[in-house]
A = this chain, B = another copy of it.
Amino acid sequence: MTTGKQLFTTLESDGTLTVEIAESTFPAPTGNQVLVQMEAAPINPSDLAILTGAADFENAEYSPGKVIAKMPEPFNTGSKSRHGQRLPAGNEGAGTVIATGDSDMAKALMGQRVACVPGNAFSQYAIAEATMCLPLGEHSSEVGASSFVNPMTALGFVENAKMDGQKAILHTVGASNLGLMLNRICQEDGIALVNIVRKAEQAELLKSQGAEWVVNSSDDDFMDQLRKAIDATDAFYGFDPIGGGQAVDACFKAMEQVAMSKMTEYSRYGSDQAKRMFIYGRLDFGPTILTPSYGFGWTLSGWLLTPFLANAGMETVVRMRTRVLENLTTTFASSYKTKVNLEEMLTKNAILDYRQMKTGEKYLVVPNG
**Given the contacts A81-B260, A82-B266, A268-B50, A297 and B292 also touching, CB distance less than 8 Å:** no
Of the listed stretches A92-100, A172-180, A277-285, name the one at the interface; the rest are far from the partner chain: A277-285
The digit string for A279-308, where 1 denotes a CB below 8 A from any CB of B, is 110100111111111011111111110110
Does A22 make an interface contact (CB < 8 A)?
no
Does A272 make an interface contact (CB < 8 A)?
yes
Q: Are A297 and B287 in contact (CB under 8 A)?
A: no
Q: Are B296 and A279 in contact (CB under 8 A)?
A: yes
Does A49 make an interface contact (CB < 8 A)?
yes
- A271 to chain B minimum Cβ distance, whole angstroms, is 9
Taking CB atoms, residues of chain B closer than 8 Å to A87 are 266, 268
Closest to A269 in B: B304
Taking CB atoms, residues of chain B closer than 8 Å to A85 are 266
Q: Are A301 and B302 in contact (CB under 8 A)?
A: no
Q: Are B304 and A296 in contact (CB under 8 A)?
A: yes
Does A78 make an interface contact (CB < 8 A)?
yes
- A101 to chain B minimum Cβ distance, whole angstroms, is 21
Does A205 make an interface contact (CB < 8 A)?
no
Copies in the complex: 2
C-alpha spacing A87/B268, complex, angstroms: 10
C-alpha spacing A50/B270, complex, angstroms: 12
Q: Are A268 and B301 in contact (CB under 8 A)?
A: no
Does A243 make an interface contact (CB < 8 A)?
yes
Q: Are B288 and A290 in contact (CB under 8 A)?
A: yes
Interface residues on A, range: 35 or more
Q: Are A244 and B292 in contact (CB under 8 A)?
A: yes
Q: Are B292 and A287 in contact (CB under 8 A)?
A: yes
Does A263 make an interface contact (CB < 8 A)?
yes
**Given the contacts A279-B296, A292-B282, A272 and B307 also touching, CB distance less than 8 Å:** yes
* Of the residues B81, B272, B298, B306, contact of A263 by C-beta under 8 Å: B81
CB interface residues, A 291-330, toward B, < 8 Å: 291-293, 295-304, 306-307
- A279 to chain B minimum Cβ distance, whole angstroms, is 7
* Of the residues B272, B289, B303, contact of A296 by C-beta under 8 Å: B303
Taking CB atoms, residues of chain B closer than 8 Å to A268 are 46, 49-50, 82, 87
The digit string for A325-350, where 1 denotes a CB below 8 A from any CB of B, is 00000000000000000000000000
Q: Are A289 and B292 in contact (CB under 8 A)?
A: no
Taking CB atoms, residues of chain B closer than 8 Å to A299 are 299-302
Q: Are B297 and A307 in contact (CB under 8 A)?
A: yes
Q: Are B243 and A292 in contact (CB under 8 A)?
A: yes
Closest to A83 in B: B266
- A334 to chain B minimum Cβ distance, whole angstroms, is 21
Q: List 29 A-B contacts (CB under 8 A).
A: A46-B268, A49-B268, A74-B291, A78-B292, A81-B263, A82-B266, A82-B268, A85-B266, A87-B266, A243-B292, A269-B306, A280-B296, A282-B292, A285-B292, A286-B292, A287-B290, A288-B289, A288-B290, A288-B291, A289-B289, A290-B290, A295-B302, A295-B304, A296-B304, A297-B302, A299-B299, A299-B300, A299-B302, A300-B300
Apart from A78-B292, A300-B301, what 12 extra A-B contacts exist at CB < 8 Å? A50-B268, A85-B266, A269-B306, A280-B296, A288-B289, A296-B302, A296-B303, A297-B302, A298-B301, A298-B302, A299-B301, A300-B300
